[in-house]
């Protein structure tokens, strides 16, 4: 009878607890800033089988994954990162974890500060990306058509 292998239910990579019961490619998408394509590139860089369960990986494979996640932005072309040209430094960066939401908030505050069109739309709570607003995106009290009393 074969020895049943222990499974780790949580694997910690990049300050995120990943689900050990899922395959590597699916579990890596639990990190903010890592999608399916990025996860497959990270698994290939670490030379880890993407279909293997995350909790069954050996510790050295998990270390390879950690190193691949940390060095992702330096090893891929600029079009594959989620911030190809940083506003302040001009370099290509890939944001992970809480950096994603922090940087988004900073960018929105900068747009508000310089009074750009997008910043003003963010301030007033309107749609920002050119959608129509005549019939959708309405907030506040509902205004509808009233029936005539007979």
Q: Distance between CA atoms of 29 and 60, rounded to whole angstroms?
A: 20
Residue carrying the six token digits 């390879």: 64
Could you tell me which residue, 2 or 19, shows the higher pLDDT?
19
High-pLDDT (> 70) share of the chain, %: 96
**Domain identity same for 71 and 16:** yes
**Domain identity same for 61 and 43:** yes
Q: How buried is 43 (Cβ within 10 angstroms: 0-12 exposed, 13-18 middle, 19+ buried)?
A: buried
Q: Distance between CA atoms of 44 and 52, rounded to whole angstroms?
A: 13
pLDDT band at 1 (very low <50, low <70, confident <90, very high): very low
Contact indicator for 118, 128 with CB cutoff of 8 Å: yes
State both tokens at 129: 């990306």
Structural domain including 104 reads 80-124
Give me the number of domains the chain comprises: 2
pTM: 0.82
**Domain identity same for 84 and 71:** no
pLDDT band at 3 (very low <50, low <70, confident <90, very high): low
């Amino acid at each position: 009878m074969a020895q049943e292998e222990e499974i780790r239910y949580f694997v910690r990579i990049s300050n995120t607890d990943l689900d050990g019961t899922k395959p590597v490619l699916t579990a890596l998408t639990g990190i903010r800033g890592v999608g399916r394509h990025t996860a497959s590139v990270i698994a290939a860089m670490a030379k880890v089988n993407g279909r293997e369960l995350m909790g069954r990986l050996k510790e050295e494979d998990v270390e390879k994954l950690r190193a691949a996640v940390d060095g992702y932005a330096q090893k891929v072309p600029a079009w594959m990162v989620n911030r190809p040209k940083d506003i302040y430094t001009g370099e290509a960066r890939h944001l992970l974890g809480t950096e994603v939401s922090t940087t988004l908030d900073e960018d929105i505050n900068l747009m508000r500060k310089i009074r750009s069109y997008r910043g003003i739309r963010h301030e007033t709570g309107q749609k920002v990306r050119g959608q129509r607003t005549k019939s959708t995106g309405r907030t506040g009290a509902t205004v509808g058509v009233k029936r005539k009393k007979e």
